[in-house]
């Protein structure tokens, strides 16, 4: 029963994430007006706004103008719901506050992922309040992803914040000095400061490694398949978000495997 409730809750929040992804880069309110068709502008009725279900019943089209709705909408709702289930499975129901904290973290990463893909920006509205919140949560209630029976604690959380923000800030400064162009966006710096506060300094190391690995692989594929030039600007946020998710769920297993190879 609890898994069903969490899945439905995750899908509902996923529907809200679609609103955030569309409106935040446009500096629009995420509260008002109510959801509308992006083609005809007609308000979407509540019965046409049921996560996943409405998209299937409407066959992916607007009820009024018949324009095709992006498949991304139900995909994000489903993704958020599935990730919430993984959090529940990984961390259990012993601490509802821990689950809620990770739910918020995961949803923030999803919003960052898709906005950075579309606009190559990471909104300050997510990262700036996320940094102090991450440190508070990391200091008080969150477990260490690499030692789940221990509290992350203020020291590890704060060092993680400094490691995440400081390392990426150093890369930005050195890259600017050497290559005479921006090597790292300010959004990435603030994002990793937030990630460090929640996952600690070990989480920063693993997230950075995984993000760099995925970014390198995808970048090479884009060069080979789509003819992108070396040095082309590729958003880094989606790869860091993916790395942070893997670190959250599998960080302990990866470190254990690495040190026993």
SS (H, E, C) 132-167: HHHHHHHHHCCEECCEEEEECHHHHHHHHHHHHHHH
Q: Please report the DSSP string for 61-129 in residue order.
A: B-TTT-PBPPTHHHHHHHHHHHHHHHHHHHH-SS-HHHHHHHHHHHHHHHHHHHHHHHHS---HHHHHH
Residue 192 near residue 207, CB atoms below 8 Å: yes
* pLDDT tens-place values along the chain, 261 residues long: 899 999 999 999 999 999 999 999 988 888 888 888 888 878 888 888 899 999 999 888 888 888 898 899 999 999 999 999 999 999 887 689 999 999 999 999 999 999 999 999 999 999 999 999 999 999 999 999 888 778 999 999 999 999 999 999 998 888 777 766 666 778 999 999 999 999 999 999 999 999 999 988 888 887 777 766 655 567 889 999 999 999 999 988 888 887 775
pLDDT of residue 42: 85
Q: How far apart are CA 69 and CA 75, in angstroms?
A: 12
pLDDT of residue 14: 96
Residue 182 near residue 223, CB atoms below 8 Å: no
pLDDT of residue 175: 75
Q: How far apart are CA 213 and CA 206, in angstroms?
A: 10
DSSP 56: H
Predicted TM-score (pTM) of this structure? 0.92
What's the token pair of residue 170? 């150093």
């Amino acid at each position: 029963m609890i898994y069903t409730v969490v899945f439905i809750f995750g899908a509902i929040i996923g529907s809200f994430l679609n609103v955030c992804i569309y409106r935040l880069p446009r500096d629009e309110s995420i509260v008002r007006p109510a959801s509308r068709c992006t083609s005809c502008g007609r308000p979407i009725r509540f019965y046409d706004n049921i996560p996943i279900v409405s998209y299937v019943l409407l066959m992916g089209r607007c009820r009024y103008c018949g324009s095709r709705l992006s498949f991304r909408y139900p995909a994000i709702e489903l993704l958020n719901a599935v990730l919430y289930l993984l959090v529940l499975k990984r961390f259990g129901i012993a601490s509802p506050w821990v689950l809620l904290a990770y739910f918020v973290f995961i949803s923030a990463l999803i919003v960052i992922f898709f906005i950075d893909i579309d606009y190559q920006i990471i909104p300050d509205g997510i990262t700036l309040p996320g940094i102090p919140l991450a440190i508070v949560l990391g200091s008080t209630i969150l477990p260490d992803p690499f030692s789940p029976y221990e509290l992350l604690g203020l020291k590890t959380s704060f060092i993680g914040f400094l490691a995440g923000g400081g390392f990426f800030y150093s890369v930005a400064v050195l890259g600017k000095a050497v290559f005479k162009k921006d090597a790292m966006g300010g959004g990435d710096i603030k994002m990793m400061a937030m990630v460090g506060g929640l996952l600690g300094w070990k989480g920063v190391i693993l997230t950075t490694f995984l993000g760099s690995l995925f970014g390198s692989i995808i970048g090479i594929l884009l060069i080979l398949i789509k003819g992108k030039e070396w040095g082309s600007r590729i958003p880094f946020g989606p790869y860091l978000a993916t790395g942070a998710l893997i670190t959250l769920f599998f960080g302990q297993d990866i470190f254990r495997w690495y040190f026993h190879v």
